[in-house]
Amino acid sequence: MIKMKAAVMYQKGELPQYVDFPEPEVQNEDEVLVTVKAVAVKHFDKGVASGKHYSSEGLKENGRVIGGDGVCVLKDGTRVYGMGVCGMLAEKATIYKDRIVKLPSALSDADAAALPNAVIGAAMGLRFKAEIQPGKVVLINGATGFTGRVAVQIAKHYGAKKVIATGRNEQSLHDLLSLGADEVISIKQDEEAFIKRLKEIHEASPIDVVVDYLWGHAAEMILASLKGKGSFTHKTRFVSVGSMAGDLIQLSAATLRSVDLQLTGSGLGSWTKEQVGKLFSEILPEMFQLSAEGKLKVQTLTHRLDDISTLWNLDIPDGKRLVVVI
């Protein structure tokens, strides 16, 4: 049995361990064995590893390599982004042949590993759930994190006339103005002031799309600001992508009845096979190229695989993505 170095989770809730682990084997013609170069550590990966994410149901609990996607090298030397059949935080992994994207030579391993999760979180919601068109007004709720910063840039790339960004970190909010945001609003202000400001914006330039990474009370406030008064209203598509502020909300039935509101989610299980196909054939290649050309900016923090136990709960600066290089 051939062994490799890998980050392995033995018990849910514990820290992953850097250990020798059996190298994966290709199970069918839809898979290919690759050498892994870089893997981003995301909230999604932590949720799956801990069993808290809905997609983790049925996964093997003990002795499992963690990490779902990353930058890797095919047998012929081609550098690609791929989604793992097995865990990716290891020297070797198996990936799906139909979920591979060749990477531009000018794009670094770290940036290529960091981008996809954020692109998926933003672009899939904007294109397929919000059906974004040029000239629309977009609100990104929770935009100060890594994914939110990417979402601001992608919304502008898709032709948004105005992008409003909300968040807690004042410095990160200010930084978003240089990434394409037209207006930033702090969630730290009192509820009445926050809702009042959103109502003013919505009256002046109606919000077409909300991409929400927070859910919880922040989403409640945004939905309250959209509430109508019995007259004709502007259609708003509210797309839930994350739930960093809590998994549950209270939603007034009066809000649903008083406004032309489409409330939907964008995540694993909500997309069609055709849409996922376009992710790999159109969306990711385009975004990788934009990043290689410096038109889609990200910030990463890189560490080595053998540091995985100390990295797992590392406090990452707002707006950056932790990437493990192998």
**pLDDT tens digits, 95-146:** 999 999 999 999 999 999 999 999 999 999 999 999 999 999 999 999 999 9
Distances (CA, A) of 71 to 270, 283, 324: 25, 17, 10
Distance of CA 121 to the CA centre of its chain: 4
Cα gap 13→8, rounded to integer Å: 12
Residue 275 resides in a domain: no
Cα gap 87→94, rounded to integer Å: 8
Residue 165 resides in a domain: yes
Domain residues for the domain of 137 are 118-265
Cα gap 185→166, rounded to integer Å: 5
Q: Give which of 217, 200, 208 is closest to 239, Cα–Cα.
A: 208
Q: Residue 184's beta-bridge partner residues?
A: 165
- Per residue in 29-78, pLDDT (tens digit) is 999 999 999 999 988 778 766 655 454 444 455 689 999 999 999 999 99
Boundary-marking domain end, from 223, 244, 265: 265
Same domain for 252 and 149, yes or no, is yes
Q: What is the pLDDT of residue 25?
A: 95
Residue 285 resides in a domain: no
User: CA dihedral in degrees (281, 43, 45, 47; nearest 10)?
Assistant: -130
Same domain for 151 and 259, yes or no, is yes
Residue 156 resides in a domain: yes
Confidence (pTM): 0.91
Residue 48 resides in a domain: yes
Same domain for 94 and 124, yes or no, is no
Q: Please report, for the domain that includes residue 142, its CATH number.
A: 3.40.50.720
DSSP secondary structure letters along 256-298: HHHS-EEEEE-STTSS-HHHHHHIIIIIHHHHHHHHHTTSS--
Q: Please report, for the domain that includes residue 34, its CATH number.
A: 3.90.180.10
Same domain for 122 and 184, yes or no, is yes
Q: What are phi and psi of 283, to 5 degrees?
A: -70, -55
Place of tokens 């990474």: 213
Cα gap 289→277, rounded to integer Å: 18
Residue 205 resides in a domain: yes
Cα gap 308→24, rounded to integer Å: 20
Boundary-marking domain end, from 247, 265, 283: 265
Same domain for 300 and 249, yes or no, is no
Residue 209 resides in a domain: yes
Q: What is the pLDDT of residue 283?
A: 98
- Assign 3-state DSSP to the chain and report helix, strand, coil percentages, each to 5: 35, 30, 40
Cα gap 303→323, rounded to integer Å: 6
Instruction: Name the domain count of the chain.
Output: 2
- Per residue in 23-32, pLDDT (tens digit) is 999 999 999 9
Place of tokens 């397929």: 128
Same domain for 187 and 216, yes or no, is yes
Cα gap 178→165, rounded to integer Å: 12
Same domain for 239 and 206, yes or no, is yes
Residue 283 resides in a domain: no
